[in-house]
Structure 1
Amino acid sequence: MQTYCLLLYAKKTKGNSEMSAIYLRITIDGKRKEISTGKTIKTTEWNSKAGKVFGNSSHAKSFNSFLESLRAKMFESYNYLLNNRKIITCECLKNRFLGIDERKVTLVEAFQDHNNQIKELIGRGFAHGTWERYETSLRHTQQFMMWKYNISDIDVKEINPAFISDYEFFLRTVRNCANNSAVKYIKNFQKIINICLDNEWIIKNPFATYKSKIVITDVRFLTENELEKIKNKVFSTDRLRTIRDIFLFCCFTGLAYSDVKKLANENISINANGEKWIKIKRTKTKVEASIPILPIANEILERYKANVKCVNDEKVLPVLSNQKMNEYLKEIATLCGLDFDISFHTARHTFATTVTLNNGVPLETVSKMLGHSNVQMTQHYAKIQDRKIGDDMNLLKKVLTKKSKIKEIKKTAVNYS
């Protein structure tokens, strides 16, 4: 049940503690709003317990009558909202009391305002891809409203659990989104609803009973044979050769697309042993990744030292847009006879699994090179292959066999003695 309280109180004025300004304080369900009455009195005249001025003088009676009229007006405003089944918040009650028309906030307006703020903060806490994802979420939301209600926008107050349920159905059927994609779009939408709740544009949370779950999927990575196929494939165009080289560079460094795109000479250092290292703060996690450059990765860097695009952009590799890179990688996968499409992210999983973990590199070391903030994140990337399990178990067999032979020798020695 909603709680409502009105308090009249005095606040000492700045610079003159002998005078106090009188305020109205509205409290609804623990949230407060203050309204100035525009009146001031001597501090000693205020009766804080009664919420009025001391005394029976004509001045006190007149002042207290004014305060009672404010109480009555506020009570009338509250009853109006209650009787007309309006949403009652401190902001709504204050606006009704002051005669201000209730502001109507629409979903597209709130969504677009959020996206515009994200756009302004690109490079200052947010990546360009984040803004693009929210723009895509907004387009899906607009398409849903047109599909379901034949409208282009809606008052945020009208969004209810049924709206959320229908939106998820739309994403899974009309948009044909897989479970994880649908859940991510819903999560983006939920952030907008949370903003509306924080600003008291919505009172009841339409997500209160909503439940969704990201399903952990096994991401494909390249085996050693598949990696060799791509490495040794002869392509007829410079375009595919370049894309293949950049992809292989990421297979042997573990860099994500956003990180290899910004990779510059300043990110490459040489240690005391003359070995080249990549030192880069990951775009996504802001964690520094430290990666020794393997010979094949170094060969690729040397190959593009004089590349015109690299020189002009002051980057070490001529990386195209993520969309173009993934488009050409699908073409490469087909030409190499792979039975699945590869993307830029495939390279990162291949580094974690085929290149490092399955060659005996500890998980903690792989985590550091990937720039993960914890090992649990790395476990999603690194999958142990049967060959590695077999090798590890063969080592165990040798150890157990050796122990068994030692026991046999000791037992024989005891019997002879």
Structure 2
Amino acid sequence: MKKTFKILFFVKRTRVAKNGEVPVQVKVTVNRERAEVSINLTVKPESWNAATEKAIGKDRKSVELNSRLDTVRFRLMEIYREMELNAEYITVRKIVDKYLGVETKPPIMLLEIFRDHNKKCQKLMGKDMSVSTVKRYETSYRHTEEFIKLNYQKEDIPIEDVNYQFVKDYEFFLKTERNCCHNSTMKYLKNFKKIIRIAIANEWLHKDPFMNFKVTFEEVKREFLEQHELEKIMSKEFKIERLSSVRDILVFCCYTGLAFSDVKTLSQEHLVTDNEDEFWIRKPRVKTNNMCNIPLLDIPKQILDKYRNHPICQKSGVLLPVLSNQKMNAYLHEIAEVCGIKKDITTHTARHNNYSFLLKMSDLQFSFPSTGNDLETSKLLFLSFFYIKNPKSDFFSKNIILSSIIPHR
């Protein structure tokens, strides 16, 4: 990263002493960050040349003043060059403090704060924080560590060295070196911003580097399956077992609105019955810990029955044999291709699909808590918070027995 370093001598014409002289000061600038320093020198206003930044005249006082100004300039440049040679992260505050001989305490390091934060997150996992949130902070830490090594050739940097330029360079790094899309980049910067807030709260950092940087998210166009597309997937007979089970899990998600992480951890304890002996899924969301109350309709119930004795379910104590998110998405793309559906189907498609179907097919009453600034959640009414009353369509309530989905192995 290119550094700019400037030294400017000027006089404070508003601070005139009794002898008519004004103080000479030096302004040091590093990458647009400035600091003014008093150098205990004075001069008559009429004897100062602002263009040359020196005293006018050949008299002894002017010559002596100019000589001392040269000494100050030389010392400041010497400090700057020493820092460059030592590959230090240079700030105007560091240069000024070194010039004034100010003793500095051992700096608080950025990654040190980040590590401490992540250790606390680990202890809160499953209580105040979800596994996915903790993992995102860990990934954010690794990205920050890699960025520092690449840009500064350092293992860590002082937190006081983090400024607006650091944030902009980090954003560029995430989008180029890590190949993150805009929204992923913003999520990592949002994680990093929390570390900055911790530093400011503890007075380790006195200026917010995010002051002129706005974390913004672009609206993402979500893929939805139309009703006929879902029915096409449901009725398709797959001879390959992995595709068949992945299809079943997709259908289950479409009918329940559960997210991938919630379906993967769904177990018998999450199934309850109401006063009318109707089955419900009652489960806290992995991501937010908000409680879901979801009616278990006929088709998802039949899917659960189908996998009751599946080896993976028996071994892991779960209700469905859910693979990794990466494998699920790969197989869903394969399913879409086989069914002639030209859409990017993922595990999250079902979550959005559920809202679309229910709004069209049922008379719904929704109640949902405040969702904070979660962009995705704020734009959708997720099934996690709904309660169905008086369904007016038998699309969900009738016993649809599809031979390709329901047969037990």
TM-score by length of 2: 0.63
Per-residue CA deviation, residues 319-340 of structure 1 (Å, 9 max, x unaligned), is 2233332233233223322223
Secondary structure of 1:120's counterpart equals helix
Deviation above 6 Å: which 4+ runs of structure 1? 376-379
2:269 is the counterpart of 1:270: no
Q: What letter is aligned with 2:353? A: T
- Given that 2:190 and 2:215 are in contact with CA atoms closer than 8 Å, whether structure 1 keeps it comes out as no
1:226 equivalent in structure 2: 229
Q: Distance in 1 between matches of 2:326 and 2:131?
A: 13
* Contact map agreement 1:106 1:155 (CA 8 A) in 2: yes
Range 106-115 or range 250-259, more displaced: 106-115
Q: Which amino acid aligns with 1:380?
A: K
Amino acid at match of 2:380: Y
- Structure 1 pair 377/145, CA: closer, same or farther in 2 (3 Å)? closer
Deviation at 1:302, TM superposition (A): 0.5
Deviation at 1:308, TM superposition (A): 2.1
- CA distance in 1 between partners of 2:145 and 2:165 (Å): 16
Which residue of the partner structure matches residue 363 of structure 2?
361
Deviations 1:63-109 (A, max 9, x none): xxxxxxxxxxxxxxxxxxx997459xxxxx9xx7xxxx723222222
1:301 and 1:232 map into 2 onto residues whose CA distance is 17
**Higher normalized contact order (CA 8 Å, seq sep 6+, divided by chain length):** 2
Match of 2:326 in 1: 323
Whole-angstrom distance in 1 between the partners of 2:356 and 2:105: 58
**Who is 2:18 aligned against?**
none
Distance 2:338 2:123 in 1: 41
Cα 1:379–1:154 change in 2 (3 A) is: closer
Deviation of the 1:167 alpha carbon: 1.1
Q: Distance in 1 between matches of 2:115 and 2:285?
A: 28
Q: Is the 8 A contact 1:372 1:378 kept in 2?
A: no
Give the partner amino acid of 1:165: K
Residues 128-147 of structure 1 aligned to structure 2 (within 5 Å): 128-147=131-150
What is the DSSP-based 3-state SS (H/G/I as helix, E as strand, rest coil) of the residue aligned with 2:282? Answer: strand
Contact 2:223/2:344 (<8 A) preserved: no
Asked if 1:208 is matched to 2:211, the reply is yes
Give the AA of the match of 2:361.
N
Q: Which residue of 2 aligns with 1:247?
A: 250
Structure 2 unaligned runs (5+)? 1-92, 383-409
**Which residue does the alignment assign to 1:380?**
379
Q: Does 1:186 align with 2:189?
A: yes
| Distance (whole Å) between structure 2 residues aligned to residue 244 and residue 382 of structure 1 | 24
Aligned match of 1:28 = none
Q: Give the CA deviation at 1:124.
A: 1.8
Q: How many residues align?
A: 285
* CA 1:141–1:83: 2 relative to 1, 3 Å: closer
Task: Please give the TM-score of this superposition, normalised by the length of structure 1.
Answer: 0.62
Q: In 2 relative to 1, CA 334–141 (structure 1 residues): closer, same or farther, beyond 3 Å?
A: farther
Secondary structure class of the residue paired with 1:252: helix
Contact 1:250 1:347 in 2 (8 A): yes
Q: CA deviation at 1:248?
A: 1.0
Q: Which letter maps to 2:131?
A: H
Work out the CA distance in 1 between the residues paired with 2:284 and 2:184: 27
Partners of 1:271 and 1:277 within 8 A in 2:
yes
C-alpha distance in 2, partners of 1:343/1:159? 38
Partner secondary structure for residue 180 of structure 2: coil
The alignment-based identity, stated in percent, is 42
CA–CA distance in 1 between the matches of 2:339 and 2:370? Answer: 31
Q: Secondary structure at the match of 1:311?
A: helix
Give the gaps of 5 or more residues in structure 1.
1-81, 88-92, 384-417
Kindly indicate whether the alpha-carbon contact (under 8 Å) linking 1:287 and 1:373 is maintained by their aligned counterparts in 2: no
Classify 1:166/1:270 alpha carbon distance in 2 versus 1 (closer, same or farther; 3 Å).
Answer: same
- Which of 307, 310, 313 aligns to 2:310? It is 307
Mapped partners of 1:274, 1:150: distance in 2: 65
After superposition, the C-alpha distances for 1:91-148 in whole angstroms (9 at most, x for unaligned) are: xx9xx7xxxx723222222222222221222212212211211122122222322333
Q: Which has the larger radius of gyration?
A: 1
The DSSP-based 3-state class of the residue aligned with 1:236 is: coil
Alpha-carbon contact 2:284-2:291 (below 8 Å) kept: yes
Give the alignment's Cα RMSD to 1 decimal: 2.8
Q: What one-letter code is carried by the residue in structure 1 that aligns with 2:379?
A: H
1:119–1:322: structure 2 CA closer, same or farther, 3 Å change rule? farther
Q: Which has the higher helix share?
A: 1
Does the CA contact (< 8 Å) of 1:115 and 1:135 recur in 2?
yes
Q: Which one of 336, 339, 346 corresponds to residue 342 of structure 2?
A: 339
Distance in structure 2 (CA, Å) of the matches to 1:238 and 1:190: 45
**Quick one: structure 1 residues 330 and 86, their matched pair in 2 at CA, closer, same or farther if it must change by over 3 Å?**
farther
Change beyond 3 A, Cα 1:379–1:197: closer
Task: Give the 5 Å matches for 1:69-218.
Answer: 85-86=96-97, 102-218=105-221
